[in-house]
Structure 1
């Protein structure tokens, strides 16, 4: 039986956090592409066709809310967008929600908590 491919795009400007998320999700069996800036992630997202996106709020250039709004315009509402951020201001959270995130998870984030919000692998819940 072929293994189901579940793609996750990561947008995180901190290289250590980006690598940690990538390694964690790849070890779980997800197919991952990770980017440090929104422009690069947007340029590749349509071709990658992610089922889920992890996005930071505070990014160089385009922030996570603007990225999410653009991603939703380009790819629609089927994918799961999870904001993983240290941003704590209510106005930042409101912008992320207005842009179309599905879940807002604060940093630091435990792996088990993140796993609860990702699409299941091979039909596992």
Structure 2
């Protein structure tokens, strides 16, 4: 998805507020427009008001797992949305789950700015 007016919108779905806030500050300092959600349900609800170009998605969310959130995002938004899963596990099962859910990239925590910049849509 191409952002208009050089604006790239990133939705961070992470239940740990410190991680979510740190990622948001990092991305905002790079010029991204960021919205955070603490659960999968909240992320899905934000779609009516915030149309992200990219989603950073924790797989280990309480309630709806990140892979299910990714499936629902794909159904509502389509394949132009870049979904980057972020997980604390490097298990093969997580990789398989991410692939089946339509997740574009899988990163293992802790994730640094240089890791994210390789996969985020560029700001024109």
Q: How far does residue 89 in structure 1 lie from its aligned partner after superposition?
A: 2.4
1:96 match: 98
May I ask how many residue pairs the two structures share in their alignment?
121
State the partner residue of 1:18: 20
**Structure 2: runs of 5+ lacking an equivalent:** none
RMSD: 1.3
Is the Cα–Cα contact under 8 Å of residues 9 and 45 in structure 1 kept in the other structure?
A: no
Query: Normalized against structure 2, the TM-score is what?
Result: 0.93
Q: Which residue of 2 aligns with 1:120?
A: 122
Matches within 5 A, 1:9-88: 9-88=11-90
- Give the gaps of 5 or more residues in structure 1: none
Find runs of 4+ consecutive structure 1 residues off by over 2 angstroms.
Answer: none
What TM-score comes out, normalization by structure 1 length? 0.92
